[in-house]
Amino acid sequence: MRINALINELLAYALEKGILEEADYAYATNLLIDFFGEKGFTKEEIKARDLDAILDDLTAYALENGILGEDDIVSRDNFKAKTIDLLMDRPKEVIRKFHAFYKESPRKATDYLYKLSKDVNYIQTKRIAQNIKWKHGAEYGTIDLTINLSKPEKDPRLIALQKGQKSGYPKCHLCLENEGYRGHIGYDGRSNLRIIPLNLNSEPWFFQYSPYSYFEEHSIVLNKEHVPMVINRGTFIKLADFLDYFPEYFVGSNAELPIVGGSILNHEHYQSGRYRFPIEDAEAEFFRKAGDVEVYALRWPLSTVRIKSRNRESLIDYAAHILDAWREYENKDLLIVNSKEEPHNTITPISRKEEEFYVFDLILRNNHTTEDRPDGVFHPRQAFHHIKKENIGLIEAMGLGILPGRLKTEFDLIGRFLSGDEEAGRDERLKKHWHWVERIKDRYNPETDAAGFVLEEAGKVFSEVLKDAGVFKMDEEGQQAFREFLKSL
């Protein structure tokens, strides 16, 4: 009776983690046995292993017995999420508990939802632990890098199966309708997702954790409606409202324009979490006081104005004032091309609380393109695309580089080549890196660790990538123009 033991083990796990309470035990048991095609159940005393091990075995059982028909990573993940959801509180009860904890403190509420999201494997901590993380000391500060291995790679058979599977529901992965969505082969389900309603600037919004967890307590704040990203005065109000809910979290928005925005422009959302990003430690040069708002220029590759104030309203007004001024700004000598007819300027805003101060970091962005730089003048140049070609969005702009998973194998090959393995150097996958490998290979000291050397060199490339995204360069001409812009405010 292997399935009986596995069901017992899953129930024991859920009780131990507080996902399930005794009052729901018989009910949850009956949902589970039905789900696995059983007619009866015998209680057994079992010490639970970790959830991955239990769900792997339950999924294997389901595949063997025809309960799960498709054996691919998406179908298996969706099946696992459905299984654990049978033991979870419904959204209404999760919201009730969240509010009860919130009355004690915002921290208790976020701790509750974050722990729950991990305990039910909505945040897959085991997969995320495979990510490769390191730091790079640049001349303006230390930046963080991650090779993201938490999104499993899809094999060609799965990609073929997924073709034509789009149903248009939910409209996107950020839509409210994802909560509890079972998913299908063409869509990652969210059976075990739970989200919390918020009110930002008198609009209905929601708060949830990110399944990819790029940093501690990585969360997403989303508009109830599937409406496009926008940056305006209302954005600053919504960010400040969020800080009033969760003063221990930072919150920031991607810009709304292509090239300088994030990967999802069609659903208004923010990212938040409990993480100290490199930009926070950037040297801040005091520039002036404007009423009760302090204005600083950051020494940071992406041109950033930091404003802080104890007075929330003054800060929102001043942020809106900077946004208006930047929307009008143009400097053709520095290739910052912009006009009313063809607007290219926008801001990536990040906000947090420091004791009684509200702090906004306003990153100035421009997305125009030229024949020479068709991907964007302030976008990673083509010579760096072998490492990073995606947009420099909010997270990257704050100094945390998220690099594609393929780099794990490719860096490994480069390391082997540097250590004398000529065969590794002939691998097709190194073609795109070759111009870079040629340049760095002479700097490599064969006495030292090749893998560490490659990461260090990749850190240098990412630092250059950040500089590419900066509108006012870190040289004298750029900094002079940056100061003139600040003076004009």
Peptide bond into 170 cis (omega under 30): yes
Six token digits for residue 459: 């850190």
Site for Zn ion in 283-302 (CB under 5 A): none
Q: Considering the rule CB under 5 A, would residue 381 count as an interface residue with Zn ion?
A: no
Q: Considering the rule CB under 5 A, would residue 195 count as an interface residue with Zn ion?
A: no
Smaller CB separation from Zn ion, 174 or 237:
174
Is the Cβ–Cβ distance between 220 and 175 less than 8 Å? no
Smaller CB separation from Zn ion, 238 or 353:
238
Which runs of consecutive H residues, i.e. helices, occur in 200-286? 233-245
Q: How far is CA 405 from CA 60, 278, 445, in A?
A: 27, 22, 26
Q: Considering the rule CB under 5 A, would residue 176 count as an interface residue with Zn ion?
A: no
Q: Considering the rule CB under 5 A, would residue 76 count as an interface residue with Zn ion?
A: no
Smaller CB separation from Zn ion, 258 or 374:
258
Q: How far is the CB of 191 from Zn ion (least distance, A)?
A: 18
Say how far apart CA 196 and CA 194 lie, in whole Å. Answer: 7
Q: How far is the CB of 225 from Zn ion (least distance, A)?
A: 8
Smaller CB separation from Zn ion, 172 or 489:
172
Say how far apart CA 212 and CA 194 lie, in whole Å. Answer: 15
Q: How far is the CB of 75 from Zn ion (least distance, A)?
A: 23
Among 97, 151, 171, 274, binds Zn ion (CB under 5 A): 171
Among 32, 138, 174, 359, binds Zn ion (CB under 5 A): 174
Among 267, 269, 308, 344, binds Zn ion (CB under 5 A): 267
Residues that contact Zn ion, how many (by CB under 5 A)? 6
Residue range at the interface with Zn ion (CB under 5 A); choices 168-176, 302-310, 399-407, 463-471: 168-176
Minimal CA–CA distance to 127: which of 242, 50, 199? Answer: 50
Taking the mean position of all CA atoms in its chain, how far away is CA 356?
Answer: 27
Is the Cβ–Cβ distance between 81 and 190 less than 8 Å? yes
Site for Zn ion in 113-152 (CB under 5 A): none
Residue range at the interface with Zn ion (CB under 5 A); choices 70-78, 189-197, 255-263, 264-272: 264-272
Q: Considering the rule CB under 5 A, would residue 194 count as an interface residue with Zn ion?
A: no
Minimal CA–CA distance to 103: which of 198, 245, 208, 242? Answer: 245
Smaller CB separation from Zn ion, 218 or 267:
267
| Sign of the four-CA dihedral 61, 66, 68, 69 | positive
Q: Considering the rule CB under 5 A, would residue 352 count as an interface residue with Zn ion?
A: no
Residue range at the interface with Zn ion (CB under 5 A); choices 18-26, 123-131, 164-172, 181-189: 164-172
For residue 434, give the 3-state DSSP assignment. Answer: helix
Site for Zn ion in 217-246 (CB under 5 A): 226
Say how far apart CA 108 and CA 99 lie, in whole Å. Answer: 10
Say how far apart CA 84 and CA 300 lie, in whole Å. Answer: 44
Q: Considering the rule CB under 5 A, would residue 172 count as an interface residue with Zn ion?
A: yes
For residue 430, give the 3-state DSSP assignment. Answer: helix
Q: Which residues make beta-bridge pairs with 401?
A: 145
SS3 content of the chain, % helix, strand, coil (to 5): 45, 20, 40
Site for Zn ion, rule CB under 5 A: 171-172, 174-175, 226, 267
